[in-house]
Amino acid sequence: MTQPVVEIPAAERALLERTARSMATAGPTLSGGTRRSLAEASRAAAADRAASTDPAPPSANDPLAEITHRITVAPADIRRSWVREQEQRGVSSANYVEILGLVARLTAIDTFTFGLGVEPVELPPAGGDDPTGRIADDAALDGGWVPTVGPASPPSALSLVPDEHEAMLDLHGVFYLSIPEMGDLDADRGLHRTEMELVAARTSLLNECFF
């Protein structure tokens, strides 16, 4: 592994390790082996896109791989109708949210390591455990495309799948600000809050975020 441009702080190093482990550990609907396989497929598609080559789409017979590919290479093109199509193919909302959380967090840590000029964190071997079945009983459609606990919003987007919701909050707090800290308009973590939001707004524009 090459030397980083700057030293990775302890909190960020620990987050990278936690996130990598979670990619190979069973979630509520997917086994550890399936999650790791989808994470590797996402990385491969992202690498093809970064190299300006057309990522080869997965087999149409594998809806989970197709969803992973779409979220990785063309998230701005996803619409409610497409999410509904996946449900008609037998992919549950919990399946979709679990994959969405996995790909989003993998993208976040890989973007972080890329920015520091180091290799992506290595994923550990997959565990042999079975899906946990842990899904929020009180989630319902409330303004979003998938069920959420409470009204749909960025903080509740993954709340149907508690493990992914909690992992997203963990990543959010280390890489940006915790949800309570977001109420502090004068927060400073090396960048002042106004500078953070300027970077976030520019990044959202470049990523075609339409929230």
How far, in Å, CA of 123 to CA of 55, rounded? Answer: 21
pLDDT-wise least confident of 10-19, 43-52, 137-146: 43-52
Q: Are 112 and 119 in contact (CB under 8 A)?
A: no
CB neighbours (10 Å) of residue 40?
A: 15
Can you give the pTM of this predicted structure?
0.91
| Residue 142: pLDDT over 80 | yes
Higher pLDDT, 202 or 2: 202
Q: How do residues 159-175 score in pLDDT, each as one tens digit?
A: 999 999 999 999 999 99
- pLDDT tens for each residue of 97-123: 999 999 999 999 999 999 888 999 999
Q: Which pLDDT score is estimated for 7?
A: 82
Q: How far apart are CA 131 and CA 34, in angstroms?
A: 10
Residue that has been written with the tokens 């280390």 in this structure: 174
The reported pLDDT for the residue numbered 148 is 98
pLDDT of res. 128: 77
pLDDT digits (tens, 9 = 90+) for 171-211: 999 999 998 998 999 999 989 999 999 998 998 888 777 65
Mean pLDDT value of segment 143-148: 96
- How far, in Å, CA of 90 to CA of 39, rounded? 21
Residue 205 and residue 199: Cα distance in Å, rounded?
10
Q: Give the span between the Cα atoms of 126 and 71, in whole angstroms.
A: 22
Angle 55-33-76 (CA atoms, 0-180°, nearest 5)? 35
Cα distances from 129 to residues 99, 167, 200, in angstroms, run 17, 19, 37
Q: Is residue 84 predicted with pLDDT exceeding 90?
A: yes
pLDDT of residue 50: 80
Residues 6+ apart with CB under 8 A from 26: 32, 35, 127, 129, 130, 131, 132
pLDDT at 132: 94
48-70 pLDDT per residue, tens = 888 877 767 777 789 999 999 99
Local structure of 50: helix, strand or coil: helix
Residue 31 pLDDT? 96
